[in-house]
């Protein structure tokens, strides 16, 4: 398929979306530590396996001024969210929606750019499809702590190593993790991150480069 045909198809899809009241998928601001690893799209659903990851996924859009919401308790505090770059003055918190969690999530999806939800129960396919349709129409993003049917991507943490404790004493100063992103049939992509480093910044771990003298000895 040539570029002209591809452009025509994309234009037709966008026009059909506008006619149906559905916003075309657009890239959403993503935390710089995820650059090249995960690009969130408007209308997408993203499942994470840790509370800290949900905050990281929310941080990119929030830093650019997007209104965000959190439904349910996620296990981290406001200070942790702020440290990741989340603007608390543009964040709506519903810590205990109880049995109405799904209705609250749907209502926030209609009003906010990014919604984080801690689902206390498994969501059915029909309810998931209903919320997915709202997301596509509004151009919002849903981040789920746990599993969700037909999520666009699943993000997980593995190989966690803390820095600062030595022989049972000291203070936790930093944490390294391996972040893995799984998207449908695509190969799993991974990256080693400081999450956070000693300055409380989330960033990739720089590869260790051996000195030239060491390389020379190895070759010899």
pLDDT in tens, 128-174: 999 999 999 999 999 999 989 989 999 999 989 988 766 555 567 78
Tell me the pLDDT of the chain averaged across its residues. Answer: 83
pLDDT at 206: 86
Confidence class for position 211, pLDDT limits 50, 70, 90: low
Q: Confidence band (pLDDT; 50, 70, 90) for 207? A: confident
The per-residue pLDDT for range 14-26, each reduced to its tens digit, is: 554 444 444 556 8
* Cα gap 87→67, rounded to integer Å: 9
Q: Which CATH architecture has domain 23-219?
A: 3-Layer(aba) Sandwich (3.40)
Angle between helices 101-111 and 125-138 (to 10 degrees): 20
Residues 6+ apart with CB under 8 A from 212: none
The H-or-E segment that residue 186 falls in is none
Q: Residue range 93-118: average pLDDT?
A: 93
Q: Is pLDDT above 70 for 199?
A: yes
Question: CA-CA distance, 4 to 2, in Å (whole number)?
Answer: 6
What local confidence, expressed as pLDDT, does residue 73 receive? 76
* 1 has a pLDDT exceeding 50: yes
* The pLDDT of residue 212 is above 60: no
- The pair phi, psi for residue 20, each rounded to 5°, is -90, 0
pLDDT tens digits for 59-99? 999 999 999 999 997 666 788 889 889 999 999 999 889 88
Percent of the chain scored above 70 by pLDDT? 78
Taking CA 90 as the corner, what is the angle to CA 55 and CA 105, rounded to the nearest 5 degrees? 65
pLDDT at residue 220 in the model: 47
Give yes or no for residue 12 having a pLDDT over 60.
Answer: no
Compute the residue count for the chain.
Answer: 220
């Amino acid at each position: 398929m040539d570029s002209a045909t591809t452009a025509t198809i994309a234009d037709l899809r966008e026009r059909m979306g506008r006619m149906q009241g559905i916003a075309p998928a657009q890239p959403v601001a993503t935390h710089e530590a995820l650059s090249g690893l995960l690009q969130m799209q408007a209308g997408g659903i993203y499942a994470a396996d840790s509370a800290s990851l949900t905050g990281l996924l929310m941080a990119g859009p929030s830093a650019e001024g997007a209104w965000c919401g959190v439904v349910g308790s996620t296990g981290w505090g406001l200070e942790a969210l702020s440290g990741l770059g989340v603007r608390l003055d543009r964040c709506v918190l519903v810590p205990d929606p109880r049995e109405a969690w799904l209705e609250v999530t749907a209502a926030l999806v209609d009003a906010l750019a990014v919604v984080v939800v801690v689902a206390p129960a498994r969501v059915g396919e029909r309810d998931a499809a209903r919320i997915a349709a709202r997301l596509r129409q509004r151009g919002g993003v849903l981040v789920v702590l746990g599993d969700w049917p037909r999520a666009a991507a699943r993000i997980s943490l593995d190989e966690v190593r803390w820095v600062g404790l030595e022989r049972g004493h000291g203070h936790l100063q930093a944490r390294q993790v391996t972040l893995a992103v799984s998207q449908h049939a695509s190969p799993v992509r991974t990256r080693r991150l400081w999450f956070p480093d000693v300055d409380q910044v989330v960033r990739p771990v720089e590869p260790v480069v051996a000195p030239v003298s060491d390389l020379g000895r190895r070759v010899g």
